[in-house]
Structure 1
Amino acid sequence: MPGPVFAEGDSVALHTIEEEDLEFLQRGRNHPEIRRPLTDVDPRNGEQIREYFENSVSDDGDGFGFLICRSEDGEPVGAVHVPWIRTKHGSGMLMYWVLPEHWANGYVTEATELILDFAFEERRLAKVYALVVETNVGSQRVLEKLGFQREGVHRKETFVDGERLDSYRYGILADEWLDS
């Protein structure tokens, strides 16, 4: 069962990740329709998910992450994270996913808005960026809708399903987000 609500929107709420949520995270990270766009080609066993939880979520490190839960019933539908922060530079990398049966409901967009508010207003990051594989058009649309700018192309950097693909880097600055 997800932890307490950390931030709430109209259709989703961000909940803290608790130990009992690790099975849900493992199921999502191993789902073929999620792991391929995330370019996560290795299977994630329970120990690896626990290690991620201990090192990136529950320790005193700089990263942060939340479960995305539907507001109406608290059901977890995905996760949103800024797991890696370059503290000296004030930049963090954004990652998110939602189970395929919950796609096209606006959950990722709203959850990303909530985490960006936190990242820029409370954590005082100067920039948030994301890497998106070229075939993940839905994720590109989410980022562009939220005001991210495509900053560059990492040519043939990603290997997915036997094919080398470009990855696009998107970024948004704090003043761009806070002034919107």
Structure 2
Amino acid sequence: MGVMTRTTLGSAPALAALTIVLSACLSACQSAPHGARTGSASSTATTGSSADRAVYVTGAGPDDDACTRVVSAIGYLELSLLPAGQEDAQRYDGDVRGRFGYVRGTLAMYGPHLPASLAGPAATIEEVGTPLSTAGTDPSTRPALLREYRKASRSITSACPRP
């Protein structure tokens, strides 16, 4: 059986020093990345708004193929979903909700670059993905929302060309 120890006031200076070091690291992490341009001129004047350049997908670039990225995000979510027809049994833990959020972020970044015919399904995924990625959503509404998501995601995956 392990021995429990108590934190004493003697450890307070060490804790204070650790807090200072971590605060300094956090400040450094929040500053401009190494090699980033600084100055008063806005780079958005020539390249578009900062929202156009926002990166919601780790490792993604704004010039990546939209269909490839969106289909990949849909596939990533599908790994955590029960098979079609089992929507009533689907659980919505942090993993599933997070993956719905990932699909929404991917669509925020790449949806405008999908073929125009996919604007409707992309909008549907955003509409139903919001409550499906939220913990407080009424559980009784989730199965129908998941069915709508699946219909819209099938439209996208069937219309996007296969690599």
Which structure is larger by alpha-carbon Rg, 1 or 2? 2
| Structure 1 or 2: more strand by fraction | 1
Flag whether TM exceeds 0.5 (same fold): no
TM-score, normalised via structure 1 length? 0.23
Q: Which has the higher helix share?
A: 2
RCO comparison, higher one (Cα < 8 Å, 6+) = 2
